[in-house]
């Protein structure tokens, strides 16, 4: 008899109910009681879905008003002192205000830091600890939610982020070893588990996702130490791992005083056998066979085959689950009325995945005959996908098979190209430019919405967009920028815009996934071979270029970013999809160049976030990611200048790969670190041109010329001035025009001042 459970469920609701509730609460339009009621309804809906899917447990404690890691800071009394949370006695409405100020900041304090959750696009609030952090338990909310779940009559399995992962993922202000806090933190976990035990909870899921990372001896020892606190007076513990093969930590894990382990059998199916053989006789093994990170229908036959060798041996000790929390998938496919049936039949979102789990359990427990019909439907869908002409294009596959026919290198090395480009472009020292987007005004958004609804014709829409382009070009001419952009008015999103024009992409109406707090993203789905049926940006780029004698950059999203910010195929390696995207972008580069565009920017802001969790796998990722970028760019002739752009990530440990991309110019975000990021580029002696961002685009504040000059002085200390550009950190789409014009004027003046200074210096 196999059991079923999930590691967690999306909190936002099928129609983003939580998002809208939060945002009205923040605006003061919804009272605390209203917010609570909406959250409670969402939780109970999620539990009922799990009951309907006949799961052995319903999972509680996975809900959060903002982020579950933040909730653990609160739960264990570890909110940063600077917020003065601890000793305050407060009413419920103030509790919420205080809670959200941790995540969003308030008049006195900046928000706690936020960072990416492993290799997902979910962001968690980083716990902020220091050497006088004292943990305590603040479990009122957690226990209330548990009570709520227990009232539904199913077995409830609460989830906790484990003590070692919590500590590992936190940051410390003072320079001290955070492992010194381990004992006192583990002690509080022991208290909480005792409380859960008293409440007759049989199982607790304790997540230790850091097993997906490269851990050193000290951290491995920390598990032993922390879990020693959890030996008695507690419910049974299911230690959950995900996102990786964790067999290398088997000797540590199997010695922990827990009662079972969950493994990710989607990312690493090969670890099942080794785990069955390694676990103590009384442990359960929870096998994550349904993909919690992607949107594809499960191949149920394949899953049953994968499980088959172990079913009898494990018996009652076999648990079935999605690979990780379903937090990373959209909620409900059934409501997607606009998606056609063929594509829909390939997909499963969170609700559908619960159903799949149920079928798998029935097939195992009652025999395949009991679910023959469901299995037949699944089999037919899998077959259809494998043979669909919408998924498979012989032309694309042939191109990929003969990738060698495309030279991924430019015709000549950078030095030669640079000379030719300079001859063509005749740019001044320290050329000024922007990253691509200009303010997405209410007007722009309204016309796009109306066009999508069919309220205005394509011609009218194109006309309106041209007006915005003309306006952007005029502004840039007036400012005296050297390299102009068309402003990206026609783009809602840098991936969606291209995806809509590429074959192989599908879009959902409600396929939202939480990114952080109330912010959700709706990644497009790459379901088939990707190619570009016709030019995508040549019209807008040519139109913009026709308005000015200055060079206008053609703006494209790079293959790695397209891949990274989409749901990708699970029926071919990521690398293959990346190469298909690369060729599609390459075709566009070719056409832009033929249309006379002299500078083409291929944005790769997500380049770094594609890095695998384990260092041993970095190089193979970097090899194909760099290759994909180069393939897209190498069709450019020597005198076509290729730019790329990256932002908001740590570049210094991948500098060789960034250099290997061989873009003529890279613009990067650096102002937030006061140009510190550039030091790496300087030390590494980055060979091509660089535009370090001189101002942060996240705030309407207009930085002074003096500030920008100081930053550029720092830049010239590490990079030769002949190879420097001046630009903002990133695109300006979230800004308003007035502050944009002022800031850019300061930027242009900064360049002028510096050029004059340099001329004086040279003539002396
Ligand atoms: N060209 C894009 C823009 O300016 C780049 C955005 C990004 O880096 N995320 O909006
Ligand atoms: Zn950017």
Q: Which of 121, 434, 436, 537 to mutate to test the pocket of ligand 1 (most atoms within 8 A of CB)?
A: 436
Which residues, listed in sequence order, are joined to residue 644 by a DSSP beta bridge? 602, 666
Residue 764: band (very low, low, confident or very high) from pLDDT cuts 50, 70, 90: low
What are the tens digits of pLDDT across the range 281-298?
999 999 999 999 999 999
What are the tens digits of pLDDT across the range 44-87?
999 999 999 999 999 999 999 999 999 999 999 999 999 988 76
* pLDDT of 92 over the 90 cut: no
Q: Which of 121, 488, 670, 696 to mutate to test the pocket of ligand 1 (most atoms within 8 A of CB)?
A: 488
* Structure confidence at residue 689 (pLDDT): 98
* Structure confidence at residue 694 (pLDDT): 96
Does residue 107 or residue 281 have the better pLDDT? Answer: 281
Residue 676: band (very low, low, confident or very high) from pLDDT cuts 50, 70, 90: confident
Segment 727-749 mean pLDDT: 97
Distance 603 CA to ligand 1 centre (A): 7
* Structure confidence at residue 629 (pLDDT): 98
Contact yes or no for 692/668 (Cβ under 8 A):
yes
Segment 235-251 mean pLDDT: 98
Q: What 3-state DSSP class applies to 295?
A: coil
Which ligand sits closest to the CA of 671?
A: 2
What are the tens digits of pLDDT across the range 529-570?
999 999 999 999 999 999 999 999 999 999 999 999 999 999
Which ligand sits closest to the CA of 489?
A: 1
Residue 744 has a CB neighbour count (10 Å cut-off) of 24
Distance 729 CA to ligand 1 centre (A): 10
Q: Is the shortest distance between the CB of 469 and ligand 1 below 6 Å?
A: no
What are the tens digits of pLDDT across the range 126-141?
999 988 899 999 999 9
Q: Could you identify the atom of ligand 1 that is nearest to the CA of residue 731? A: 4
Q: Could you identify the atom of ligand 1 that is nearest to the CA of residue 605? A: 8
Q: Is the shortest distance between the CB of 555 and ligand 1 below 6 Å?
A: yes
Task: Output the CA torsion 276→277→279→284 (10° steps).
Answer: 20
* Structure confidence at residue 84 (pLDDT): 87
Atom 8 of ligand 1, residue of closest alpha carbon: 605
Q: Could you identify the atom of ligand 1 that is nearest to the CA of residue 601? A: 1
Residue 374: band (very low, low, confident or very high) from pLDDT cuts 50, 70, 90: very high
Distance 625 CA to ligand 2 centre (A): 18
Per CATH, 3-387 and 414-763 having the same topology is answered yes
Segment 743-748 mean pLDDT: 98
What are the tens digits of pLDDT across the range 482-529?
999 999 999 999 999 999 999 999 999 999 999 999 999 999 999 999
Q: What distance in Å separates the CA atoms of residue 137 and residue 75, rounded to the nearest whole number? A: 6
Q: Which of 518, 516, 631 is nearest to 581 (CA)?
A: 631
Domain boundaries defined on the chain: 3-387, 414-763
For 461-471, b/e burial (b = at least 16 CB within 10 A) is beebbbebbbe
Distance 589 CA to ligand 2 centre (A): 20
When the pLDDT of each residue in the chain is averaged and rounded to a whole number, the result is 96
Q: Is the shortest distance between the CB of 339 and ligand 1 below 6 Å?
A: no
As a whole number of angstroms, the longest Cα–Cα distance in the chain is 91
* pLDDT of 460 over the 90 cut: yes
Architecture of domain 414-763: Alpha-Beta Barrel (3.20)
Atom 10 of ligand 1, residue of closest alpha carbon: 731
- Any residues with CB less than 8 A from the CB of 601 and at least 6 apart, and which? 436, 553, 554, 555, 556, 642, 643, 644, 645, 667
Q: Is the shortest distance between the CB of 494 and ligand 1 below 6 Å?
A: yes
Helix (H) or strand (E) holding 203: strand 203-207
Q: What distance in Å separates the CA atoms of residue 68 and residue 380, rounded to the nearest whole number? A: 39
Atom 4 of ligand 1, residue of closest alpha carbon: 731
Residue 645 has a CB neighbour count (10 Å cut-off) of 28
Which ligand sits closest to the CA of 693?
A: 2
* pLDDT of 444 over the 80 cut: yes
Q: Is the shortest distance between the CB of 437 and ligand 1 below 6 Å?
A: yes
What are the tens digits of pLDDT across the range 679-704?
999 999 999 999 999 999 988 999 99
Distance 668 CA to ligand 2 centre (A): 7
Atom 5 of ligand 1, residue of closest alpha carbon: 731
Q: Is the shortest distance between the CB of 730 and ligand 1 below 6 Å?
A: yes
Q: Is the shortest distance between the CB of 417 and ligand 1 below 6 Å?
A: no
Contact yes or no for 541/554 (Cβ under 8 A):
yes
Residue pointed to by tokens 């990707």 = 530
Distance 648 CA to ligand 2 centre (A): 7
Q: Is the shortest distance between the CB of 603 and ligand 1 below 6 Å?
A: yes
What are the tens digits of pLDDT across the range 618-674?
999 999 999 999 999 999 999 999 999 999 888 899 999 999 999 999 999 998 788
Q: Which two tokens stand for residue 254?
A: 């199997």
Contact yes or no for 535/625 (Cβ under 8 A):
no
* Structure confidence at residue 370 (pLDDT): 98
Contact yes or no for 164/221 (Cβ under 8 A):
no
* Structure confidence at residue 699 (pLDDT): 87
Q: What distance in Å separates the CA atoms of residue 319 and residue 259, rounded to the nearest whole number? A: 12
Q: Which two tokens stand for residue 518?
A: 């109330």
Q: Which of 558, 527, 540 is nearest to 625 (CA)?
A: 558
* Structure confidence at residue 698 (pLDDT): 87
* Active-site residue list: 698
Provide, rounded to the nearest whole percent, the portion of the chain with pLDDT above 90: 93
Q: Which of 438, 489, 668, 731 to mutate to test the pocket of ligand 1 (most atoms within 8 A of CB)?
A: 731
Segment 229-252 mean pLDDT: 98
Segment 186-203 mean pLDDT: 98
Q: Could you identify the atom of ligand 1 that is nearest to the CA of residue 434? A: 4
Q: Is the shortest distance between the CB of 427 and ligand 1 below 6 Å?
A: no
* pLDDT of 94 over the 90 cut: no
Phi and psi, residue 20, nearest 5° = -70, -35
Provide, rounded to the nearest whole percent, the portion of the chain with pLDDT above 70: 99
User: If you count them, how many residues does the chain have?
Assistant: 764
Q: Which of 350, 383, 386, 337 is nearest to 507 (CA)?
A: 337
**Topology of the domain covering 3-387:** TIM Barrel (3.20.20)
Which ligand sits closest to the CA of 487?
A: 1
* Structure confidence at residue 763 (pLDDT): 66
């Amino acid at each position: 008899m196999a059991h079923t459970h999930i590691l967690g469920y999306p909190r936002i609701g099928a129609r983003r109910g939580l998002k809208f509730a939060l945002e009205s609460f923040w605006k003061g339009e919804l009272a605390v009681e209203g917010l609570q009621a909406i959250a409670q309804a969402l939780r109970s809906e999620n539990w009922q879905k799990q009951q309907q899917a006949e799961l052995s447990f319903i999972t509680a404690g996975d809900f959060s008003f903002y982020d579950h890691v933040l909730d653990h800071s609160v739960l264990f009394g570890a909110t940063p002192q600077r917020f003065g949370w601890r000793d305050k006695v407060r009413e419920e409405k103030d509790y919420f205000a205080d809670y959200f100020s941790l995540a969003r900041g308030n008049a006195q304090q900046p928000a706690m830091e936020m960072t990416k959750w492993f290799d997902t696009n979910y962001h968690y609030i980083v716990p902020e600890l220091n050497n006088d952090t004292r943990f305590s338990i603040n479990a009122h909310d957690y226990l209330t939610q548990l009570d709520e779940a227990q009232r539904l009559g199913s077995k409830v399995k609460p989830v906790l982020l484990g003590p070692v992962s919590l500590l590992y993922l936190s940051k410390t202000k003072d320079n001290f070893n955070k492992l010194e806090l381990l004992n006192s933190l583990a002690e509080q976990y022991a208290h909480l588990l005792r409380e859960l035990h008293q409440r007759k909870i049989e199982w607790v899921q304790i997540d230790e996702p850091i097993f997906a990372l490269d851990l050193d001896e000290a951290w491995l020892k920390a598990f032993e130490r922390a879990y020693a606190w959890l030996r008695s007076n507690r419910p049974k513990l299911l230690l959950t791992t995900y996102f990786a093969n964790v067999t290398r930590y088997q000797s540590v894990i199997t010695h922990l005083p827990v009662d079972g382990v969950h493994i990710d059998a989607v990312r690493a199916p090969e670890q099942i056998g080794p785990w069955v053989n390694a676990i103590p006789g009384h442990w359960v093994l929870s096998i994550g066979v349904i993909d919690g990170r992607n949107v594809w229908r499960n191949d149920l036959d394949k899953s049953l085959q994968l499980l088959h060798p172990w079913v009898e041996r494990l018996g009652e000790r076999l648990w079935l689950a999605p690979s990780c929390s379903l937090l990373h998938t959209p909620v409900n496919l059934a409501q997607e009325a606009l998606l056609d049936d063929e594509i829909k039949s390939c997909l499963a979102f969170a609700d559908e995945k619960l159903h799949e789990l149920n079928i798998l359990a029935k097939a195992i427990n009652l025999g395949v005959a009991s679910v023959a019909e469901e299995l037949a439907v699944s089999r037919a869908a899998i077959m259809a996908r494998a043979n669909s002409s919408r998924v498979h294009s012989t032309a694309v596959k042939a191109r990929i098979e003969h990738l060698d026919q495309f030279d991924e290198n430019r015709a000549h090395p950078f030095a030669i190209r640079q000379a030719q480009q300079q001859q063509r472009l005749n740019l001044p020292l320290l050329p000024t430019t922007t990253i691509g987007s200009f303010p997405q005004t209410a007007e722009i958004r309204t016309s796009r919405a109306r066009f999508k609804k069919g309220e205005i014709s394509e011609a009218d829409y194109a006309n309106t967009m041209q007006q915005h382009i003309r306006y952007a070009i005029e502004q840039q001419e007036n400012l005296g920028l050297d390299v102009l952009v068309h402003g990206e008015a026609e783009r809602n999103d840098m991936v969606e815009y291209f995806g809509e024009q590429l074959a192989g992409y599908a879009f959902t109406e409600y396929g939202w996934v939480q990114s952080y707090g109330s912010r959700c993203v709706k990644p497009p789905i790459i379901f088939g071979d990707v190619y570009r049926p016709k030019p995508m940006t040549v019209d807008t780029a040519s139109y913009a270029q026709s308005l000015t004698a200055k060079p206008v950059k053609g703006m494209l999203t790079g293959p790695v970013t397209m891949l990274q910010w989409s749901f990708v195929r699970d029926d071919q390696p990521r690398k293959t999809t990346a190469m298909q995207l690369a060729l599609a972008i390459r075709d566009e580069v070719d056409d832009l160049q033929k249309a006379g565009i002299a500078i083409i920017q291929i944005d790769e802001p997500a380049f770094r976030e594609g890095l695998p969790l384990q260092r041993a796998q970095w190089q193979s990722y970097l090899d194909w990611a760099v290759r994909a970028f180069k393939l897209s760019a190498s069709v450019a002739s020597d005198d076509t200048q290729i730019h790329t752009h990256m932002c908001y990530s740590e570049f210094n440990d991948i500098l060789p790969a960034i250099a290997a991309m061989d873009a003529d110019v890279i613009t990067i975000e650096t102002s937030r670190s006061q140009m510190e990021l550039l030091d790496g580029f300087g030390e590494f002696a980055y060979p091509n041109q660089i535009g370090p961002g001189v101002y942060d685009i996240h705030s309407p504040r207009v930085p002074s010329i003096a500030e920008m000059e100081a930053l550029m002085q720092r830049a010239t200390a590490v990079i030769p001035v002949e190879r420097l550009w001046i630009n903002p950190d990133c695109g300006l789409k979230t800004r308003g025009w007035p502050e944009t014009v002022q800031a850019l004027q300061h930027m242009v003046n900064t360049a002028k001042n510096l050029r004059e200074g340099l001329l004086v210096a040279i003539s002396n």
